[in-house]
Amino acid sequence: MRRLLRAAWPRSMAGRLGVSLAAGLLLLWVLSAISASLVVVREMNEVFDSILSEHAQIMLPDLMRRYGGELDGVGPHPVVITDATPHDEYITWRLYAADGRLMMRSHGAAEAPPPPVGFTTIAGARLYSEPSTDGRYVITLAEPPDHRLHTIRPTLVRLLAPLLALVLAALVLVPLAVRRGFAPVRSLQAEIERRGGANLDPLPIGHLPAELASIGDDVNQLLQRLRQALEAERSFSANAAHELRTPVAAGLAQAQLLAAHLPPDGHARREAEELAASLGRLGARLEKLLQLARAEAGVAQRRERVDLMMALDLLVEEFRARPGVGTRLRLDDGGLAELPVLADLDALAIALRNLIENALRHGSPESAVEVAVTAEGVVRVTNAGPVVPPERLAILHRRFVSYGGKGSGLGLSIVHTIAEQLGAGLALHSPARGRSDGFEAELTLARATAQERGLTRPS
């Protein structure tokens, strides 16, 4: 039972407050209804008892005066009074002699032995007996068992129904009021959820209540410190990569020049070529660090209408000119001459370049790398190769995470960061869809409408 209550208990503060208020109102109405019912029943019973005693005190002298001769005579008893206008008797009466003989009764009263003097309840009926001043007679007034119930029940309904309607209205209005009262909390929550590595802007706290404004101010201070730390990290990465790129490029040129002047079959030539290859890999990693720094600095925050097909054509042409690529890289443009999307041109080029580089590096050298575009703004880059395990695939977009021991582990992280800033979707599949092996990266971009401003062409 306790588990069921815990499962049914709302997890939100607004839900808990609403349920608590509603339950409190309902409990208050039940207690009020019980209390009011007890008071009304008691007061109504006192009024009805008073009516019985008052009627008995009025009727007894009147009956003795009007029917004294018949009561003292030797005629048949009891005398039934039937000369009244026909009606339903809510109160019946019987007149007894001092010795207990029934002398007279109303037409609706049944013959019965005399009850004790005063108030009594017999078979649910309320009775009151009053003796005459001379002690010769006793009058008994009786009220039917259901009379008081039929009278008190409508009274209670009319008393409690408006309160019940008020409680029901409150049960409807309380959640609305609670929801409205917690609107600033939800607004603050939504603003905090919008913050991330690419958005560390201060929270707007001018419209918040005083209780939440202090929380928002503390969060803003935390965001400011975090922004400063991230900016320092990005600045260090960018500056270090930039400062190292020039000497690495110079060292690569010197190593290549040295290798060119050495005998082709000598050990020194192989060492020089390995040195040049290592410097080339170091230069590529520095380039990735620069791209990551730009991506995390929010390079994709600015969006404009750019031609995706133009950017892809230029990148594919550039990659095909590299040694060992050529016709291995295939582009399926879907018959599209142009495809306008909302993006930053530089950021889009960085993302597409990393997707293609990743496929060329990790794909089988003898198999093709396919780049396909659809009219919905979806770019799919597919390569052959071993299947990536699901647990590895789920974290492949993180920094310095790679599979197969190739690459720096930064390419997909850069694409993921840019996709988040562009509001695009990045989905990774292994094996590639429709195949039993390989890897597929799918980038879904937002299509630009005809009302957007003119196309930005790559220069």
Q: What is the pTM of this model?
A: 0.48
Of the candidates 62, 240, 54, the residue with the CA atom closest to the CA atom of residue 137? 62
Using alpha carbons, select from 321, 333, 239 the residue that is nearest to residue 286: 239
Whether the CB-CB separation of 356 and 315 falls below 8 Å is answered with yes
State yes or no: pLDDT of 140 exceeds 90: yes
| Tens-place pLDDT, residues 82-95 | 555 566 677 889 99
Question: Helix crossing, 13-66 with 147-181: angle to 10°?
Answer: 160
- Could you tell me how far CA 213 lies from the centroid of its own chain? 23
In the predicted model, is pLDDT for residue 206 greater than 70? yes
94 neighbors 104 (Cβ within 8 angstroms): yes
CB 103 within 8 A of CB 71: yes
Condensed to tens digits (0 to 9), the pLDDT of residues 31-70 reads 888 898 889 889 989 999 999 999 999 999 998 888 887 7
Per-residue pLDDT at 457 = 42
Three-class HEC string of the chain: CHHHHHHHCCCCHHHHHHHHHHHHHHHHHHHHHHHHHHHHHHHHHHHHHHHHHHHHHHHHHHHHHHCHHHHHCCCCCCEEECCCCCCCCCCEEEEEECCCCEEEEECCCCCCCCCCCEEEEECCEEEEEEECCCCCEEEEEEECCCHHHHHHHHHHHHHHHHHHHHHHHHHHHHHHHHHHHCHHHHHHHHHHHHCECCECCCCCCCCCCHHHHHHHHHHHHHHHHHHHHHHHHHHHHHHHHHHHHHHHHHHHHHHHHHHHHCCCCCHHHHHHHHHHHHHHHHHHHHHHHHHHHHHHCCCCCCCEEEEHHHHHHHHHHHHHCCCCCHHHEEEECCCCCCCEEEECHHHHHHHHHHHHHHHHHHCCCCCCEEEEECCCCEEEEEECCCCCCHHHHCCCCCCCCCCCCCCCCCHHHHHHHHHHHHCCEEEEECCCCCCCCCEEEEEECCECCCCCCCCECCC
Architecture of the domain spanning 301-444: 2-Layer Sandwich (3.30)
Class of domain 191-297: mainly alpha
pLDDT-derived band at 316, boundaries 50, 70, 90: very high
Task: Kindly list the domain boundaries of the chain, sorted by start residue.
Answer: 13-165, 191-297, 301-444
Digit-coded pLDDT (tens) for 326-355 = 989 999 998 998 999 988 888 888 899 999
pLDDT one-digit tens code per residue, 227-271: 787 677 667 666 766 666 677 777 878 888 877 878 888 788 888
pLDDT at 453 over 50: no
Looking at the domain that runs over 13-165, which CATH code has it been given? 3.30.450
Is the pLDDT assigned to residue 15 strictly greater than 80?
no
